[in-house]
Structure 1
Amino acid sequence: MTMFEELFALACSATLTMTVSADEKSGRLTVNVIPKPRKDAGEPALAQPLSLTATPQEFDAGFIDALRGYREVRRSLAQQAEATKEVIEAAKAASVKKASDATAKAAAPKSPAAKPAPASTATASPALRDDDDGVDGGGEAAPQPATAGSGQSFDLFG
């Protein structure tokens, strides 16, 4: 490719600003190619300028190769930035789905088996008692549930 073909290929992905300065004492030129990315303005690496200092003869011999290498690296960086963006978007979507699933699960009504039965503080059912003295028709005292102050242990499983 020629120099302008390389510049064209580079300019297809970014607007370019070029500066050229000369140092008479050393006989060298400094060429800066400064890209302003179009769609990837948030990626700082893609805005990194190419700054070269060399003699005019060295520029004649290697400037096209330097532009090509710079363009290829920029393209690679742009591809990496796009791949990273896709990964981040996928992770965001997965996180949103996970959060909405957790919210839906928390809001779902629980099955009756999952809820513990409320503890009753009543002593005994009136249907089990014949009178108010705690003695049933057979002359024996009706069983009384253990209470917190009774000193008796209460076994749920026995």
Structure 2
Amino acid sequence: MTMFEELFALACSATLTMTVSADEKSGRLTVNVIPKPRQDAGEAALTQPLSLTATPQEFDAGFIEALRGYREVRQSLAQQVEATKEVIEAAKAASVKKASDATVKVGASKTIAAKPAPATTASVSGDAADEEEDAAAQTATAEAATASAAGGESFDLFG
């Protein structure tokens, strides 16, 4: 590829700013290629500028390869950033689902705990059920007797 073909390929993924400065004493140029990514402006690795200092002859011989290597590294970084974003988004989705499932389970257990326990007389043998009924009747009779003694009135529970 030519220099402008490499610049074009690089500019397809980022807006480029280039600065060129010369040092007359050393006979060298400094070329800065500064990308501003279109999609991931916050990703520091993708905004790292390419800064090269060399003689004009060295630029003629190796600038295209330097641009190509820089572009390929940037593409690799952009792919890594995209893959990392996908992993993070998947982890977020899994975390939200896990939290949602936990909330549903907690809500369900509170609902179950709030409901009164069903009567167990069906699972209790007939003798035990009779004993429970007798105990309930004795409690009611004792309560009536207490009320009678306290207020002087008599209540007939079975009458």
| Category of TM-score, reference length = shorter chain | 0.7 to 0.9
Output the TM-score relative to the length of structure 2.
0.72
Large movers: runs of 4+ above 4 Å: none
Secondary structure in 2 matching 1:26: coil
CA offset digits 1:29-49 (Å, max 9, x no partner): 000000000001111110000
Distance 1:93 1:126, change over 3 A: closer
In the alignment, which residue of structure 1 is the partner of 2:100? 100
Match of 2:148 in 1: none
Q: Work out whether 1:127 is the aligned partner of 2:137.
A: yes
Cα distance per residue 1:5-57 (max 9 Å; x no partner): 00000000000000000000000000000000000111111000000000000
Structure 1's unaligned 5+ residue stretches are 118-123, 133-158
1:110 aligned to 2:112?
A: yes
- The SS at the match of 2:36 is strand
1:139 counterpart residue number: none
Structure 2 residues without counterparts, runs of 5 or longer: 120-133, 143-159
User: Which structure 2 residues correspond to residues 14-25 of structure 1 after superposition, within 5 A?
Assistant: 14-25=14-25
Match for residue 76 of structure 2?
A: 76
Amino acid at match of 2:80: Q
The residue that corresponds to 1:89 in the other structure is 89
Q: Given residue 37 of structure 2, which amino acid in structure 1 is its aligned partner?
A: P
| Aligned counterpart, 2:33 | 33
Q: More helix per residue: 1 or 2? A: 2
Question: In 2, Cα distance between the equivalents of 1:2 and 1:126?
Answer: 100
What CA RMSD, in Å, does the superposition of the two structures yield over aligned residues? 2.4
User: 1:110, 1:70 → 2: CA distance?
Assistant: 63
CA distance in 1, matches of 2:12, 2:136: 91
The offset of 1:70, in angstroms, is 0.1
Q: Secondary structure at the match of 1:110?
A: helix
Q: Give the match for residue 8 of structure 2.
A: 8
Pairs aligned (count): 124
Identity across the alignment (%): 82
